[in-house]
Amino acid sequence: MIEEKLRIGVIGATGLVGGMILKVLEERGFSNQVIIPVATQKNVGKEVSFASRRLKIVSIEEAINAECDYVIFSAGGKTSKLYVPMFAERGAVVIDNSSAFRKEDDIPLVVPEINAKIINDSRIVANPNCSTIQMVLALAPLHFKYKIKRVVVSTYQSITGTGIKAVNQLSQEEKGEEVERVYPYQIHHNLFPHGGDFMEDGYTTEELKLVDETRKIFSDNDIQITATVVRVPVLGGHSESVNVEFENEFDIKDVFSCLKDMDGIEVIDNPNENLYPMPLFCQGKDEVFVGRIRRDFSQAKTLNLWIVSDNLRKGAATNAVQILQYLCKQRNEKV
């Protein structure tokens, strides 16, 4: 008997995240499946590398007609809003990396280590924002043990979160060349507290994602969250300074134990040897790294954490592929 292969579409295959999705699919055992890469019309007919072979890029219409079993989207909210339902109607399960469906009550927002079981028979699964994923993965074991009351988070986000044009901007600025700016200011030798679009209340859309998505993932709208997003001239890896107040008292040794026991978390915290998480060490890795773990002595039941992760991997591609792996396991599909 010939074993039927899965047909997996990757929408946005030529982007930074799309390219990483292909890489992670290969790493996680999907090399022998039928991978259908999709990109904009100008790239149709070109090729991308996957598992020692070349795959021809097709249009999104061709992918819809290909009757995919699973589709991973990383092509922006407008594209997702238009095309994700079309794939779902044709029988595919879609994992969407944009913000298009994250707030929808009937669409699960998933970090597999925390809440994969809520997927059930959903045809659309939303991948959270990159900065949300790493924060909630670190906070999850602490929330379940001590119950979070309030979170204050400041992020220091890599330019790769904006895309290849941002990478090009930094590269050209470093060389002193004329550059097409993606950001309102230069990023080389600079940083600015601006991620996403500003809203009337002075917060940005990126900051609001941290609030809404954390509450949804933890199924707890009582958690109070305030965020400041900062873009920094780093090529890979988001960092976060997190101050978290709990309803219940904690023991700092137990905090370390909870974090070390959590799947997907690696604790790096040895001040005597200057060991703490940094983007430099997290690039190319799937773990979320946590350090600078210490009690906030200015307020009761409050903890400080420093959280770092590769935003293209666990913050996007890896989390999406982990969702795919979970779905395949639930359906007893061999990869």
Q: Do 182 and 165 touch, CB atoms closer than 8 A?
A: yes
What does residue 214 show for φ and ψ, rounded to 5 degrees?
-60, -45
CB 160 within 8 A of CB 273: no
Sign of CA dihedral 280, 244, 293, 286: negative
Q: For 323-335, give one letter per residue: b (16+ CB within 10 A) or e.
A: bbbbbbeeeebeb
Which of 68, 143, 238, 282 is an active site residue? 238
Residue 196 CA to residue 159 CA, distance in Å, equals: 12
208 Cβ contact list (under 8 Å, min separation 6): 196, 199, 227
Q: Which of 75, 38, 30 is nearest to 55 (CA)?
A: 38
Q: Locate 283 and state its tokens.
A: 């690039």
User: What is the rounded distance in angstroms from the CA atom of residue 200 to the CA atom of residue 196?
Assistant: 13
Is 238 noted as a catalytic residue in this protein?
yes
How many CA atoms within 13 Å lie on the side-chain side of 174?
9
* Rounded CA separation 193/300 (Å): 29
Instruction: Evaluate whether 130 touches 238 at the Cβ level (below 8 Å).
Output: yes
Question: Which tokens sit at 313?
Answer: 């991997």
Question: What tokens were used for 307?
Answer: 């959280």
Strands 34-38 and 7-11: parallel
Residue type, 117: K
Start-to-end CA distance of the chain, whole Å, equals 16
Amino acid at 10: V
Active site amino acids: 130, 238
